[in-house]
Amino acid sequence: MNEQDSKRRIKLTETEDGNVLFNVPFPKDLKDLKGMAPIVIKQPYHIDYIHSYGQDSPFFAGLANGKLLGTRCGPCRYTYGTPRLHCMVCGEPCAWVELPREGAVHTFTVCHFGGEEFLGETPFILILVEWPGVDTLFLSRLVGVEPEAASLAWIGMKVCAQFKRLSKFKPTDVYFVPG
């Protein structure tokens, strides 16, 4: 390095945050670069995601306040256990209605694998809840029964909605117990 190059060189402060690599292999002959193994690093990544519940906001506000909400079409009276803004039968706008806390198991499955939300809780039970006068079913968890004791006798079993005390504004804020 000559005197002029050393005058142009500016040194930045170096820290040990991020990726610090030591002994990175580099061939003596540049022709050997094509055969070099790829450098693989693990890098944490974080992003704040802003999400709007839009038309479903009343449903999540209901969960946070211990209420289970569905919707009902005015003209055809079709009632949705999982809310819809417009009726899927006639296309008209739906109105919000409170669903009963008590329902019955229409069907169930025992899950031995789950997404991140339930990874540490397998096996767990998912049920479809039905209510008299409600035309669609509602997917939720059943707690308070042993997954290993799964039985067809559970079909039709009365269940009651429970709500997490600290709402996370997620569908998992409501769950069902035998009732």
- Give pLDDT tens digits along the chain (179 positions): 566 666 677 777 777 776 667 777 788 889 888 888 888 887 788 899 898 989 999 999 999 999 999 999 999 999 999 999 999 999 999 999 999 999 999 999 999 998 887 778 899 999 999 999 999 999 999 999 999 999 999 999 999 999 999 999 999 999 999 98
Could you tell me which of 151, 155, 130 has the C-alpha nearest to residue 140?
Answer: 130
Asked whether the beta carbons of 98 and 67 are under 8 A apart, the reply is yes
C-alpha span between 141 and 161 (Å, rounded): 10
Domain ranges of the chain: 54-178
C-alpha span between 162 and 154 (Å, rounded): 18
Cβ neighbours around 84 below 10 Å, total: 19
Could you tell me which of 129, 118, 109 has the C-alpha nearest to residue 172?
Answer: 118
